[in-house]
Structure 1
C-alpha cells in the first residue's frame, strides 16, 4: 500500500513539489498503478511456456553488421561553410 510518506519520498527524489491537497489523490493513483503492475506481473508468470513456442523457435533474429562503402569524408567536408575538426556549424533553429 502506498502512503503519504511514499508519495513525499518519490516527489523528493524526482525533485517535484507536491501540493498538500493533492497527496490523497496521488496516493490513490499510485496505488492503482502498482496494483495494475502486479496484475500484469501475475498474468505473465501464469502463462504456459507452450504459448511461446513459436517465438522461442526463432533462430538468429538479428543480422550481422556489414561494413559498407561510405561517402568520401574529405569531399563532403570540403563543401561545408564553416566548421572545425570535421564538424559542421549550423544555425540554431530553436529558441532557448
Structure 2
C-alpha cells in the first residue's frame, strides 16, 4: 500500500483533485484522513486559510505508477510538504 501526505490551505479543493486523479488512474482508495489546523477548526474554516493535513492511502499497480501520482499531486498549486511512497511494512 502507498500513501500521500501533504498540507493545504484549500483542503476541499486539493482533496477532491487528488481523489479524482486516484480514480482516473484506477487505483484503489484504502483510506483518507483530514485534520484541519488546531483548535478544532472545521475543514471549511481551514479552507479559508489555515493549513490542513491530508493523508491518502491507496493501492497502485506498481511503484512507478504511484510515483507519477505523487508527482501530479506535487504539481498542484498550494500543496505543501508532500511526502509519500510505499508504506512501511508493505511489499
Compute the TM-score of the two structures, normalised by the length of structure 2: 0.25
Relative contact order: is structure 1 or structure 2 higher (C-alpha 8 Å, sep ≥ 6)?
2
Which structure shows the higher strand fraction?
2
Larger-Rg structure: 1
Which structure shows the higher helix fraction?
1
Compute the TM-score of the two structures, normalised by the length of structure 1: 0.24
